[in-house]
A = this chain, B = another copy of it.
Amino acid sequence: MKNDIPEPAGARAPHWNLGPVIEELRVSREATHNIRHHGRVRELPSREALTVIVNGLSAALFPTHYGRPNLTDESIDYFVGDTLTTTVNRLVEQVRRGLLFSAQPDDASEEALVQKAGAITRDFAAGLPGIRALLVSDVQAALAGDPAATSVAEIMLCYPGTIAILYHRFAHRLHQLGVPFLARLVSDIGHSLTGIDIHPGARIGGSFFIDHGTGVVIGETAIIGQRVRLYQAVTLGAKRFPAEENGTLIKGVARHPIVEDDVVIYAGATILGRITIGAGSTIGGNVWLTDSVAPGSTVSQAQMRSD
């Protein structure tokens, strides 16, 4: 029984009168019971497991950069094969748990969930070479787009944007395959590591590059084309949320921007609503934009004056 955190001990261990607190917490839990689960306990997907899974996928896709230092032509396929089988076996269990929160759990037997989790995981695995190709295009875009970048290794190891897009591409595929809850967890881990918040529902084309990245927010229904470049603190958000008459928000409506191919959006720009940024446009830093702009536009903020 390990016990590393220091506590007072022996004669000094105090009495805390916790009985009433524990009782109040029990009453409080019962009051919120209805909200939290309907009938049966559902195992939550595990953040720790998903972190290990994303690391495993990254290592299988890019063994030289995210895998093991020692790989040779003799050993690399064994490494990839073993890492991938292990990781996929771990993923299927998390997908099963995720389905408990994504699907209608009431109308699915445990066996049906296991089958569905297996099918989703098999599809996910089959799509990995495609994801790798997208990620390679993203890395090349970074190398081309940042004058401070000196090598592929630097892009892959030192750029938060690379990590963010890596998490996103996995999360988005899980979202597409019908495990949105799991996808959200993956994207939130990426957010926590990088400060870049991309909803797994967002659809993002190849050769995508985010520089610096802290504070970037990309909403659920955003659509981004090929070769788009973003800087820190860019928001692709919703302008308003349609609500039903009783005030309940209507979920799933397309409410985030469409950004066409070859657009550059500089730091701090805020782009809101289901508008379209036409191909090849440049949006200046700190710009606030709620209307569509034609292809090839340049939008910039009026400059401040010094007094």
Copies per complex?
A: 6
In the complex, chain B residues whose CB is within 8 Å of the CB of A112 = none
Q: Which of A105-132 contact B (CB under 8 A)?
A: 110, 114, 118, 121-122, 125-126, 128-129, 132
A interface residues, tally (CB under 8 Å): 165
User: Counting CB contacts under 8 A, is A307 at the interface?
Assistant: yes
Tell me whether A251 and B18 are in contact in the complex, defined as CB-CB below 8 angstroms, given that A7-B70, A43-B69, A82-B81 are known contacts: no
Closest Cβ of chain B to A40, distance in Å, is: 5
Cα A203 to Cα B160 with chains together (Å) = 22
Tell me whether A192 and B194 are in contact in the complex, defined as CB-CB below 8 angstroms, given that A232-B217, A268-B268 are known contacts: yes
Tell me whether A101 and B270 are in contact in the complex, defined as CB-CB below 8 angstroms, given that A6-B6, A184-B158, A286-B288 are known contacts: no
Subset of 19 A-B contacts with CB under 8 Å? A7-B93, A9-B69, A10-B40, A11-B110, A16-B88, A16-B121, A18-B88, A35-B140, A74-B85, A78-B81, A101-B151, A148-B199, A157-B188, A214-B217, A235-B285, A284-B304, A288-B304, A289-B303, A290-B303
